[in-house]
Amino acid sequence: MNILHSNKFSKYINTGIVFVFASILAIIFIVPMLYILSSSFKSVENIFTVPMQWIPDKLHFENFTEPFVKKNFGRYFINSTIIAIIVTGATIFFSSLAGYSLAKFDYKGRNMLYILILVTMMVPIETTIVPLAIVVRKLGMMNNYFGLILPVILSPFAIFWMRQFLVTLADAYAEAGRIDGLGEFEIFWKLIFPLCKPAVGALAIFTFMGNWNSLIWPMIVATSDSLRTIPVGLVAFEGEFFTPFNQLFAMSVLTILPTFIFFMFLRTKLIKGMAMVGVKG
């Protein structure tokens, strides 16, 4: 009996420690977001008042409208939306095909090719940006949508992710399709791809958020204001003598909303996909 009480008490202690630790982490992440949200409705002068006023006396809604009127933020949002949607769709399609090939076909050099893909995941992006920028410039894709989209639609992580999921699917699906006379692409598109919804949903979140928040590559390729994305536009807010932090925070809040909404719609797919994608070789 004492042992049962001791185990129960230890369980409560462990749960309490985890709860306290999780609460501290939540506060660390949430407080800066609340500060940004509060500051987005303030004037520049009120942002730096001490002690800080969490709820402003007057709400400055013009912080959300002036960047669209005086700056080109409407165009930035359109650019980011176009790039994120196209890259997400293309990444899912091509990585699913590549993952299907690596998972379900037996051909010479398959394992070596898979290892090479894994190796590229370990290479820091900073080491590939300069060579990639040179290639893009020589192909005449600087300062246009092709340069912003084509170099990033293939992702080693996406191929790895889809391959790991497709390995877990039974070969009987493809065999049934071949018996029915379907071609290999028809088997993939009609039988295999619909079964990949959990993995595709999770990958869509990762890819969309990564491209929506991308800064370095759009900053290199997009030299004209009409091709800037939202992160590049936020960086451009910083002036030589004055930075309108209230408008900067307001645009940051609007920037978060699309990814937040996208995540809320696909969050169940993310959880299920991460649970189903194992480390099966």
What would the pLDDT profile of 237-257 be if each residue is shown by its tens digit? 776 456 788 888 899 888 888
Q: Is the pLDDT of residue 131 over 50?
A: yes
CATH architecture classification, 67-276? Orthogonal Bundle (1.10)
Round to whole Å and give the CA distance between 133 and 122.
20
C-alpha dihedral sign at 9, 11, 13, 15: negative
The per-residue pLDDT for 239 is 61
Confidence bin at 202 (pLDDT 50/70/90): confident
Question: Does 2 have pLDDT greater than 70?
Answer: no
Which whole-number Å values give the CA distances from 51 to 54, 55, 240, in the listed order? 9, 12, 27
Compute the average pLDDT of residues 66-79.
Answer: 89
Residue 180 pLDDT exceeds 60: yes
Mean pLDDT, the chain, integer: 85
Element (H, E) at 148: helix 145-149
In angstroms, rounded to a whole number, what is the distance separating the alpha carbons of residues 267 and 259?
A: 11
pTM: 0.83
Is pLDDT larger for residue 3 or for residue 271? 271
The answer to whether 159 and 116 have CB atoms below 8 angstroms apart is no
Q: For the chain, what percentages of helix, strand and coil (3-state, to nearest 5) are there? A: 75, 0, 25
Show me where the domains of the chain are located: 2-39, 67-276
